[in-house]
């Protein structure tokens, strides 16, 4: 199934050269865009960040993303456009780039920051890098050494968020405590402003939060695979833990490695290893892609913008990857608006109908051992809520439209909340 929706230009119309005369003068040159945006930044621990960041996994990754050093000029232009439009959160890792390109993502990000022409915006950039739990990093000192190496590649004196890239609880439990102590040491030495984790399941997330808290170190963020293709029980329980403990959820792969963009079909696959995964999952995504397409067309948005906005509406900070100016421009269109509760339900129901989901990162710890965090499996919940709501809606050519007055609809929603109790209240109506 091929879906083609052009990238809307209305969002960027205020930046056209014809409008420049009416814009306020800029405090520095050569920025192309005015320093204001139709959205608010959000708090993440001691930091203030844009409601969406950008990921740099592709910067240096040849195998999966086809990186070549000839792309660096385009990458820098893409970075500049993102910063000029208010994005100040950039995620990277010391493992992004291997062999001759070891640490390439961090090196490029550091270079681009140093060469960015506006000091005010440059100083506002928050770097979130991840330190790999390599088997030879067996002591806190070795983990701190890894942090100092990242500081050199990034050309900064302090990192915004230092994150443990994955837990070793699944295969090397004794190493875990040393890595946690390494995060504490980084924080105490002022090498990082805040600490976070990545690929932690709810059980381990609670453990490390409590451990760090006892050492006087707040856990700022938890980064996991989170999207309409990755919203199963584990992911929703992680979200529940984050909400209860005041941890910011960062959503990586919010576009399902590209499957939610509408660019690919079973007969038009990406190059490289992604093709195998796409071949397995794409055939079952027709209901979800149709729903994304319907909402996108109605909103004047693209599938990517709708999928990213879903993450924002669920309270996560998505970090889609960017390689080109076109990708950055399109992703920026996910900001400044919100999906309605009906649209969220439509998307989540369609996602629950997909026979195959994204493969969970093998390093993410499981929710096994968590008895009950207050709600049922997402797929079952979406089915129950959606089927009840269908009593008060009509379907026409696949689009959903309200047939009840707002007051009547609110009454029925209250009845759903009463029957589903905290299950529906915590998940389906989350703002």
Secondary structure (H, E, C), 366-395? CCCCCCCCCCCCHHHHHHHHHHHHHHHEEE
Residue 67 annotated to the active site:
no
Q: Is 421 helix (H, G, I), strand (E, B) or coil?
A: coil
Q: Is 148 helix (H, G, I), strand (E, B) or coil?
A: helix
Q: What is the mean pLDDT of residues 235-253?
A: 96
As a whole-number percent, the residues of the chain with pLDDT over 90 amount to: 60
Residue extent(s) of CATH 3.20.20.100 domains in the chain: 36-352
Distances (CA, A) of 353 to 259, 289, 349: 16, 11, 6
Q: How confident is the model at residue 385 (pLDDT cuts 50, 70, 90)?
A: very low
Q: Does the structure show a pLDDT above 50 at 30? A: no
pLDDT score at 391: 37
Q: Are 321 and 57 in contact (CB under 8 A)?
A: yes
| Sign, Cα dihedral of 214, 216, 220, 221 | negative
Q: How confident is the model at residue 243 (pLDDT cuts 50, 70, 90)?
A: very high
What tokens appear for 378 in the block? 């997402």
DSSP 403: -
Q: Are 56 and 321 in contact (CB under 8 A)?
A: yes
Residue closest to 325 by CA, chosen among 73, 4, 58: 73
Q: What is the pLDDT of residues 152-188, one digit of tens each?
A: 999 999 999 999 999 999 999 999 999 999 999 999 9
pLDDT score at 428: 33
Q: Does the structure show a pLDDT above 70 at 81? A: yes
Q: Which of 96, 187, 200, 252 is catalytic?
A: 96
Q: Does the structure show a pLDDT above 50 at 35? A: no
Residue 30, preceding peptide bond in cis (omega within 30° of 0): yes
Could you tell me the CATH superfamily of domain 36-352?
NADP-dependent oxidoreductase domain (3.20.20.100)
């Amino acid at each position: 199934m091929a879906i083609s929706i052009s990238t809307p230009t209305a969002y960027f119309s205020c930046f056209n050269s014809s409008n420049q005369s009416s814009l306020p003068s800029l405090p520095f040159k050569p920025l192309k865009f005015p320093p204001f945006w139709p959205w608010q930044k959000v708090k993440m621990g001691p930091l203030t960040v844009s409601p969406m960041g950008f990921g740099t996994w592709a910067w240096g990754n040849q195998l999966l993303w086809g990186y070549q050093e000839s792309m660096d000029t385009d990458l820098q232009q893409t970075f500049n456009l993102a910063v000029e439009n208010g994005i100040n959160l950039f995620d990277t890792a010391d493992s992004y780039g291997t062999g001759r390109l070891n640490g390439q993502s961090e090196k490029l990000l550091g270079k681009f920051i140093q060469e960015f022409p506006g000091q005010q915006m440059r100083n506002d950039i928050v770097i979130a890098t991840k330190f790999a739990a390599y088997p030879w990093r067996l002591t806190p000192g070795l983990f701190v050494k890894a942090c100092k190496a990242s500081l050199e590649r990034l050309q900064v004196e302090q990192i915004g968020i230092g994150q443990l890239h994955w837990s070793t609880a699944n295969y090397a439990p004794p190493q875990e405590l040393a890595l946690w102590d390494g995060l504490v040491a980084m924080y105490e030495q002022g090498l990082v402003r805040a600490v976070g984790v990545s690929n932690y399941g709810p059980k381990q997330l609670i453990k490390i939060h409590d451990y760090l808290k006892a050492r006087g170190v707040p856990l700022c963020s938890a980064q996991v695979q989170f999207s309409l293709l990755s919203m199963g029980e584990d992911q929703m329980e992680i979200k529940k833990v984050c909400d209860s403990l005041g941890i910011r959820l960062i959503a990586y792969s919010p576009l399902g490695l590209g499957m939610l963009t509408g660019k690919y079909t079973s007969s038009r696959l990406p190059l490289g290893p992604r093709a195998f995964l796409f071949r397995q999952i794409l055939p079952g995504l027709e209901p979800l892609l149709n729903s994304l397409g319907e909402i996108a067309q109605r909103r004047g948005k693209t599938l990517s913008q709708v999928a990213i906005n879903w993450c924002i509406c669920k309270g996560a900070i998505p970090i889609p990857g960017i390689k080109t100016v076109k990708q950055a421009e399109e992703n920026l269109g996910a900001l400044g608006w919100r999906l309605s509760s009906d649209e969220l339900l439509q998307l989540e129901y369609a996602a629950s109908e997909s026979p195959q989901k994204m493969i969970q990162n093998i390093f993410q710890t499981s929710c096994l051992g968590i008895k009950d965090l207050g709600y049922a499996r997402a797929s079952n919940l979406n089915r129950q809520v959606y089927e009840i709501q269908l009593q008060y809606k009509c379907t026409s050519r696949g689009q959903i439209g309200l047939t009840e007055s707002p007051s009547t609809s609110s009454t029925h929603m209250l009845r759903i909340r009463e029957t589903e109790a905290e299950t529906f209240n915590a998940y389906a109506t989350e703002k």
